[in-house]
A and B are shown apart, each in its own frame.
Chain A
Amino acid sequence: MLEQLRHQTITVLSFSMLILALTIVLSVTLRQMVRYYRIQALMLTGVVLLSAGEGGFQPALAAISLVPLLLFILIRPLLQRSTVRHDSQTLRKIVSELLIEIKEMLPGSNTMRPIDQVWLQKGHSRLRQGMSVAVSLVLVVTAFVVPAHIVRPLLSNNLPSSSLSITFTLLLLGLFTMINKHDIIAQIIGLLVMEHGMFLAAVTLTTRPDNPNSYLVLTFVLALLFYTAITLTILVWLLPALHNTSQSIDLNDEQELRG
């Protein structure tokens, strides 16, 4: 019964991630996108932790749940930092600024700084809201229908096929976000949503009860860690540097290279 409850909770959390991905796509401001992304990261943490209990506790998988949790904590201060001009980028300064920003996130701390009100209002889409909704729904249906025909015959009864459909949905919606939004931060959020889809796929497929291969799990955990390192590189180095040189997070201002 406990096993059934665990599977059901994973399914509910996975579907909630899908709904949040839709709200991210349809968000008007970056503030909303970041908020929904953070909630999605928390849900992913839950999914990974619960999956770690599949077929006996897997510490490596439980440890990887720290990654979405880390992004939940760091995403807002890192994005915030990247839109403020920095004259020097020493490690000590980066860490102290991040700690200040994390403290400001705690309940009871100072209200939003004036700079937040500027960058968090961006987040507009290339397509109109109605069209964005229509495209998103088409993508969701595609992600459920196509894999169901291809993947369901391939899967054993023990494998939740809905998880794979949700994975494809997150990938497609994340990709659509990257294409549809005007600004760089929204592009990053889209990439992070795709990363969540990847997490879900790797966790689902490597914790099959009929395929308990702990070395395989460990190597996929390492792969996801390296991928997160790429994401952090973008957030810690590239995005602030780009903003410093171009003074903008709008993609239309990053069209110097053409042809």
Chain B
Amino acid sequence: MAVSHQIRVIVMAFAPLLTGMLCLTINLVALRQCSSRAEHLARIYQSVLTLIASLISLVSTLSLIDSLLAGQQLVFDIGTVRVYALDALSLSFALLVNVVTLAASASTGKYLESELQAGSNSQRDIGWFYLLFNLFHVTMLLVSLVDNLVWLWIAVELTTYASTFLIGYRRDRRALEAAWKYIIITSTGIIFALLGTVFLASAINDPRLPMSWSQLVAQPNALDPNFVWLSFLFVLIGYGTKAGIAPMHTWLPDGHGEAPFPISALLSGVLLKCAVYAILRFYTITNVVLGSTKPGASQLLIWTGLFSLMLATPFIVKRNRFKRILAYHSLEHIGIIIFGVGIGGVGLFGALLHTFNHALVKTLMFLAFGNVQINYSKVKPGEYDDQYVGVLQAMPGSGALLAVGGLALVGAPPFSLFFSELLILEAAVRRALHEPSAWLLFAVALFLISVAVIFGGLVQHISRMLLDRPPPDVMSERIWQVWPLILLALPVLLNGLAIFQIGEFDLAELLLKSVQVVQQGSQP
């Protein structure tokens, strides 16, 4: 019996929400019992429930994707209010959120246990962590599900709310400073996004037309082009801050660097992409309304993306703590994604694929490094994470995964990021030759130089970490630390050889349909 899409959407969105509340309840019950055994059991239940909720959400998403690709309309209205209108773009981002959250949830138990043993948190804190983790999951899903653009802003704001507490979870000076910078910078940026949304509301000439994305793109003549353009500019600044686009990226290294490693994976893997998703929605409206009369939108994205890529380069090369280096890689790859979106066509396809690939690789890196942090916890810390040496010898599984992830991150073949970067680059060169455009060729040259320098930078950092003799006091690696990450590493390799397809699910088809959604009204 086919389950209606409304129920599947409810299951997808509410499974983590209910799980979060259940985890908190379980924790409170365990605390009342005042028994270490009860608390230990509670931690196991919370970890397993969070994992199951992520899995349920993922299965619901896959089921909805299956229905969409089969041609079913996934629209739900209550009276005149459109609750959601799911298309390929929203489901592809929902899929991304669920995959990364599933991977991160598999590591939360290990992380919290290690913190408990180190005395850095308490059983009470663990309950709140699981609640916030699941709330964070729900809020990111909401971003991709909502159709109303004001609700989109609210959903993005809610992600800020949940993630601030998670970044500052350890409540030491560094974590709180990172949470502070994160909330101040993103809150400042999000004001511009709201102003952009207000301008779009002003652009609507027909008072009966709501702020529903699907209805706005269907009636471009009802929108004032000048207000739409103004709206896009403000939205790019506003959501760009949340996406970590330069020069509004300054919260990135602090937030990613100080958050617990499963949260760093979520921040880098999906939170940034949620903000990119919001930009894509406004970009589509801008393209539909302005069309070829205003190519400035795509040019703006190209140069913004390039600027982010170039700004990340020196910070990746210089010596720094490893998680901060990974954060600057996020700046680099977000830049590449935005660059690809601006190029359009095959470049847009490459950008959407890059979104997936980067999320998986970055999650792999943060979780593998998290294993290293746990096992090296008894080693005296150095200024620039100097204590992490000889990882390949001390922890061969995690070390190998870091090596694979590192090579993938710098765009080395045959890994997934190489493939998507190549698509973007090829599209850029084709467009530069087709137009023809000297400035675009110059942009491509800068792109190549930056990527080459970054390659050298990360290889240097990774080799310093992996090679040499490990210090004493490193705990031995366990198989349960490694096998979930191997499952994550497989698509990192396989997506480089051919875009993921299993059974009825075809990622390429989903992304192609997403490209069609974004490219409405613009040049193919």
Question: Could you tell me if A191 and B188 are in contact, using CB atoms closer than 8 angstroms?
Answer: yes
Question: Could you tell me if B184 and A187 are in contact, using CB atoms closer than 8 angstroms?
Answer: yes
Q: Mark A222-259, 1 if CB is under 8 A from B, else 0.
A: 11001101110110011001100110000000101101
Contacts A226-B154, A238-B179, A257-B258; A216 near B211 (Cβ below 8 A): yes
Question: Could you tell me if A206 and B183 are in contact, using CB atoms closer than 8 angstroms?
Answer: no
Contacts A212-B207, A226-B154; A254 near B324 (Cβ below 8 A): no
B257 interface hit (Cβ, 8 Å): yes
A178 interface hit (Cβ, 8 Å): yes
Alpha-carbon gap, A167 to B192, bound state (A): 11
Q: Mark A186-221, 1 if CB is under 8 A from B, else 0.
A: 010001001101100110011010111101100110
Q: Mark B319-343, 1 if CB is under 8 A from A, else 0.
A: 0100010000000000000000000
Question: In the complex, what's the smallest C-beta–C-beta distance from A198 to chain B, in angstroms?
Answer: 5
Contacts A194-B188, A238-B168, A245-B172; A220 near B198 (Cβ below 8 A): yes
Question: Could you tell me if B183 and A213 are in contact, using CB atoms closer than 8 angstroms?
Answer: no
Question: Could you tell me if B226 and A257 are in contact, using CB atoms closer than 8 angstroms?
Answer: no
Select from chain B the residue with minimum beta-carbon distance to A247: B173
Select from chain B the residue with minimum beta-carbon distance to A168: B195
Contacts of B160 in A (CB 8 A): 230
Contacts A198-B194, A257-B257, A259-B324; A191 near B318 (Cβ below 8 A): no
Listed stretches B41-49, B145-153, B407-415, B472-480; interface member: B145-153
Contacts of A211 in B (CB 8 A): 202, 204, 207
Select from chain A the residue with minimum beta-carbon distance to B175: A245
Contacts A230-B157, A241-B171; A201 near B176 (Cβ below 8 A): no
Contacts of B113 in A (CB 8 A): none
Identify B164's interface contact among A195, A197, A208, A238, CB under 8 A.
A238
Select from chain A the residue with minimum beta-carbon distance to B158: A226
Question: In the complex, what's the smallest C-beta–C-beta distance from A155 to chain B, in angstroms?
Answer: 8
Question: In the complex, what's the smallest C-beta–C-beta distance from A216 to chain B, in angstroms?
Answer: 6
A171 interface hit (Cβ, 8 Å): yes
Select from chain A the residue with minimum beta-carbon distance to B160: A230
Question: Could you tell me if A245 and B227 are in contact, using CB atoms closer than 8 angstroms?
Answer: no
Alpha-carbon gap, A87 to B180, bound state (A): 20
Identify B202's interface contact among A205, A227, A257, CB under 8 A.
A205
Question: Could you tell me if A257 and B177 are in contact, using CB atoms closer than 8 angstroms?
Answer: yes
Grouping DSSP codes into helix (H, G, I), strand (E, B) and loop, the A interface class, with mixed when no group exceeds half, is helix
Contacts of A106 in B (CB 8 A): none
Identify A206's interface contact among B161, B174, B198, CB under 8 A.
B198
Question: In the complex, what's the smallest C-beta–C-beta distance from A13 to chain B, in angstroms?
Answer: 20
Alpha-carbon gap, A227 to B480, bound state (A): 41
Select from chain A the residue with minimum beta-carbon distance to B203: A154
B507 interface hit (Cβ, 8 Å): no
Contacts of B161 in A (CB 8 A): 226, 229-230, 233
B17 interface hit (Cβ, 8 Å): no
Q: Mark A16-54, 1 if CB is under 8 A from B, else 0.
A: 000000000000000000000000000000000000000
Alpha-carbon gap, A171 to B202, bound state (A): 19
Contacts A227-B194, A259-B253; A222 near B168 (Cβ below 8 A): no
B431 interface hit (Cβ, 8 Å): no
Q: Mark A123-147, 1 if CB is under 8 A from B, else 0.
A: 0000000000000000000000000
> Contact size class for A?
35 or more
B210 interface hit (Cβ, 8 Å): yes
Question: Could you tell me if A259 and B318 are in contact, using CB atoms closer than 8 angstroms?
Answer: yes
Question: In the complex, what's the smallest C-beta–C-beta distance from A51 to chain B, in angstroms?
Answer: 14
Contacts of B183 in A (CB 8 A): 230, 233-234, 238
Alpha-carbon gap, A115 to B315, bound state (A): 42
Question: In the complex, what's the smallest C-beta–C-beta distance from B289 to chain A, in angstroms?
Answer: 14
Alpha-carbon gap, A245 to B181, bound state (A): 15
Alpha-carbon gap, A210 to B224, bound state (A): 14
Identify B211's interface contact among A210, A219, A229, CB under 8 A.
A219
Question: In the complex, what's the smallest C-beta–C-beta distance from B468 to chain A, in angstroms?
Answer: 23
Question: In the complex, what's the smallest C-beta–C-beta distance from B399 to chain A, in angstroms?
Answer: 25
Question: Could you tell me if A257 and B154 are in contact, using CB atoms closer than 8 angstroms?
Answer: no
Identify B173's interface contact among A171, A178, A223, A246, CB under 8 A.
A246
Select from chain B the residue with minimum beta-carbon distance to A206: B201
B83 interface hit (Cβ, 8 Å): no
A1 interface hit (Cβ, 8 Å): no
Q: Which of B222-276 contact A (CB under 8 A)?
A: 224, 226-227, 230, 253-254, 257-258
B191 interface hit (Cβ, 8 Å): yes
Alpha-carbon gap, A175 to B188, bound state (A): 8
Q: Which of B210-225 contact A (CB under 8 A)?
A: 210-211, 224
B373 interface hit (Cβ, 8 Å): no
Question: Could you tell me if B194 and A213 are in contact, using CB atoms closer than 8 angstroms?
Answer: no
Select from chain A the residue with minimum beta-carbon distance to B209: A213
Select from chain A the residue with minimum beta-carbon distance to B172: A245
Question: Could you tell me if A245 and B191 are in contact, using CB atoms closer than 8 angstroms?
Answer: no
Contacts of A231 in B (CB 8 A): 187
Question: Could you tell me if A178 and B188 are in contact, using CB atoms closer than 8 angstroms?
Answer: yes
Select from chain B the residue with minimum beta-carbon distance to A198: B191
Question: Could you tell me if B188 and A205 are in contact, using CB atoms closer than 8 angstroms?
Answer: no
A150 interface hit (Cβ, 8 Å): yes
Q: Can you spell out 23 A-B residue pairs with CB atoms less than 8 angstroms apart?
A: A178-B184, A194-B188, A195-B191, A202-B194, A202-B198, A208-B202, A213-B210, A219-B154, A219-B211, A220-B201, A223-B150, A223-B153, A223-B194, A227-B190, A233-B183, A234-B183, A245-B176, A246-B173, A256-B173, A257-B174, A257-B177, A257-B181, A259-B324
> A151-B230, A230-B161, A233-B164 provided; 4 other pairs, C-beta below 8 A?
A171-B191, A184-B180, A223-B157, A245-B172
> Which residues of A are in contact with B by a Cβ distance under 8 Å?
150-151, 153-154, 167, 171, 175, 178, 184, 187, 191, 194-195, 197-198, 201-202, 205-206, 208, 210-213, 215-216, 219-220, 222-223, 226-227, 229-231, 233-234, 237-238, 241-242, 245-246, 254, 256-257, 259
The 3 closest A-B pairs by CB, nearest first: A219-B150, A245-B173, A257-B254
